[in-house]
Amino acid sequence: MKSFFIGGLEVRLPVIQGGMGVGVSLSGLASAVANEGGVGVISCAGMGLLYREKAGDYLRNCIFGLKEELRKAREKSKGVIGVNIMVALSNYADMVRTAIAEKCDVIFAGAGLPLDLPSYLDKESTTRLVPIVSSARAARVICDKWDSAYGYLPDAIVVEGPKAGGHLGFKRNQIEDENFSLEHIIPEVVAVAATYRERKVIPVIAAGGIMTGEDIMKFIELGASGVQMGSIFVPTDECDASIEFKQAYINSSAQDVVIIDSPVGMPGRAFDGEFIRRVRAGLTKPKGCPFHCIKTCDYTKSPYCIIKALYNAAKGNTDKGYVFAGARAYLSQKISSVNEVISRLKTEYNLCEK
């Protein structure tokens, strides 16, 4: 596998570990992937639940938690460490400012268009900026907006297809439509990135449903410089989620993977289970909203509190939450180390080259 560069920063292994919240990809998983030469990514979603420095002050605790996780990651690795920040977060701006102030290597921003992301940089900033998009149109809009408003172009672009886990940037009727497949979108975004090549090389990173070395080869042949992978790293020793969360992957089948409606306002992909069945039955109505974590979430109209559901699942209480997963997450068969996962991917990739 060839290395590539994100804003002058060399990524020796062309694998970005997807940011997974709440509490699934923190410093443990991120540092392990970074030590293998890839990009390890901390998800800042729900950080205020994971760190309760001051009772009741969720937003302040998010800042404290992100600082702590970045510090821990730096103690464990000298590799490339990024932060995944959802644009839909109510504290999006605080998370961006914190990540930049703490000199994280890369910010990956999705779940909305991060149109103002470069505005948070100053002359001393070293953090690279990478938007996550689901279409060539979104890639063009972001590039043009950043260029005209800030004189800045993305350091890379992650293209997340409809087979990804978690929140999806597609309508339900687009998820199975081949016209919206990652294989269809990647060449289109590569073409958009190429129009800026005289000023900046913008690598394109394929994401969503990628589980094997053969998958990596396929998307590199389509023009991608690397891939983002999330589900494959959940059933690992270093993943920060509970053993029960990891076992949900190991014990799953293809029939367990379902599309749900999220309070965020997007469809999402997860493993079916008791909690989701209770949601369908209308038995999970929240009584209030102590966190105000998502801009687009109105608890009076939401069937459940998503941050509590994800937190509960990550901690092992899957009866009171659910496990986000990619379309092919059921392929996981055992809990391995990150090193073993990467070694397997390299072997599969090399076999494709022969």
Residue 259 lies in domain: 244-320
pLDDT, one tens digit per residue, over 2-61 is: 999 999 999 999 999 999 999 999 999 999 999 999 999 999 999 998 998 666 688 889
| Co-location of 315 and 341 in the same domain | no
Query: What's the whole-number average pLDDT of the chain?
Result: 93
Sign (positive or negative) of CA dihedral 33, 35, 38, 39: positive
Inside any domain, residue 285: yes
Q: Domain count for the chain, please give it.
A: 2
> Are 262 and 167 contacting, i.e. CB atoms less than 8 angstroms apart?
yes
5, 11 contact by CB (below 8 A): yes
> Can you tell me the distance from the alpha carbon of 351 to that of 213, in angstroms, rounded to the nearest whole number?
9
Question: Measured between alpha carbons, how far is residue 200 from residues 131, 136, 147 in Å?
Answer: 15, 18, 11
Q: Are residues 104 and 133 in the same domain?
A: yes
| One domain for residues 32 and 176 | yes
Residues 343 and 307 in one domain: no
Residue 97 Cα to chain centre, angstroms: 19
17 DSSP β-pair partners? 229
Q: Is residue 329 part of a domain?
A: no
**Which of 41, 52, 75 minimizes the C-alpha distance to 290?**
52
pLDDT band at 288 (very low <50, low <70, confident <90, very high): low
Residue 328 lies in a domain: no
- Going by DSSP bridges, is the β-strand pair 157-160/128-133 parallel, antiparallel, or unpaired? parallel
Residue 254: predicted pLDDT = 95
Other residues' Cβ atoms within 10 Å of the Cβ of residue 222 = 16
Could you count the other beta carbons within 10 Å of the beta carbon of residue 206?
Answer: 31
What confidence category does residue 66 fall into, taking pLDDT thresholds of 50, 70 and 90?
very high
| Residue 277 belongs to some domain of the structure | yes
Residues 339 and 256 in one domain: no
Look at residue 157 and tell me if it is in a domain. yes
pTM to 2 decimals? 0.95
pLDDT tens digits, 311-321? 999 999 989 99
Q: How would residue 354 be classed by pLDDT, with cut points 50, 70 and 90? A: low
Nearest to 254 by CA among 211, 206, 318, 205: 211
Provide the pLDDT for residue 4.
97
Q: Which residues pair with 83 in a beta bridge?
A: 42, 107
281 and 158: one domain?
no
320-329 pLDDT, tens digit each: 999 999 999 9
C-alpha gyration radius of the chain: 19
Count of all residues that appear for the chain in the document: 354
Q: Could you read off the pLDDT of 265-284 as tens digits, one per residue?
A: 889 999 999 999 998 888 88
In a domain, 327, yes or no: no
Task: Report yes or no on 250 lying in a domain.
Answer: yes
The tens digit of pLDDT for each residue in 201-248 reads 999 999 999 999 999 999 999 999 999 999 999 999 999 999 999 999
Domain holding 38: CATH number? Answer: 3.20.20.70
Report the DSSP beta bridge partners of residue 132. Answer: 158
Based on the fold, state whether residues 225 and 248 are members of the same structural domain: no
Is residue 195 in some structural domain? yes
Whether the per-residue pLDDT at 64 is higher than 90: the answer is: yes
**DSSP label at residue 19:** P
The confidence band for 261, taking pLDDT boundaries of 50, 70 and 90, is: confident
